[in-house]
């Protein structure tokens, strides 16, 4: 599983970086659980959040390290982007950010069944000069 799981994650990252959300979603099982710093949900809910964040911040992920054990894969990324569109009615600053992102995947039958993600939202929004979203303050 280690090579096929790695490939699933690499394809997910490549599609994410290109903003190809149909391909991103195709990497997931239809009933996948997706958890992140601003909440959890199903694929439909995650897709909307990804669309918003990619559109507002032009996020790009660079894989720094990937660790595989069984059907679990942990990935450490450098995430870069910039404030390029209004996020939830907030200002646009044009300022860049760079933070570390960690994602943990469970791969089953060649698809992502679960994904947990965490990034330093305080640093991310602070670097861009944006107010922290209410969900991230809780």
Q: For residue 23, what is the domain's CATH number?
A: 3.10.450.50
**pLDDT band at residue 135 using 50, 70 and 90 as cut-offs:** low
Which domain covers residue 24, as residue numbers? 2-137
Q: What is the pLDDT of residue 16?
A: 96
Are 94 and 84 a contacting pair, CB within 8 Å? yes
Q: What is the pLDDT of residue 134?
A: 72
Percent of the chain clearing pLDDT 70 (strictly above)? 94
Instruction: Answer whether residue 98 shows pLDDT above 90.
Output: yes
Q: What is the pLDDT of residue 109?
A: 95
Tallying the residues shown for the chain, one arrives at 138
Looking at the structure of the chain, the number of domains it has is 1
138 vs 125: CA distance, rounded Å? 15
88 vs 133: CA distance, rounded Å? 8
First-to-last alpha carbon distance for the chain, in angstroms, is 37
Are 74 and 67 a contacting pair, CB within 8 Å? yes
Mean pLDDT, to the nearest integer, of 120-126? 94
Instruction: Answer whether residue 101 shows pLDDT above 90.
Output: yes
């Amino acid at each position: 599983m280690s090579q096929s799981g790695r490939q699933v994650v690499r394809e997910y990252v490549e599609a994410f970086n290109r903003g190809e959300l149909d391909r991103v979603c195709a990497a997931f099982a239809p009933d996948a659980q997706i958890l992140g710093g601003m909440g959890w949900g199903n694929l439909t809910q995650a897709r909307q959040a990804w669309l918003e964040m990619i559109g507002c911040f032009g996020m790009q992920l660079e894989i720094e390290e990937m660790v595989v054990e069984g059907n679990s894969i942990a990935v450490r990324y450098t995430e870069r982007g910039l404030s390029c569109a209004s996020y939830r009615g907030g200002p646009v600053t044009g300022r860049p950010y760079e933070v570390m992102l960690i994602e943990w995947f469970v791969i089953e039958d060649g698809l992502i069944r679960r994904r947990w993600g965490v990034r330093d939202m305080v640093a991310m929004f602070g670097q861009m000069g944006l107010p922290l979203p209410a969900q991230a303050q809780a």
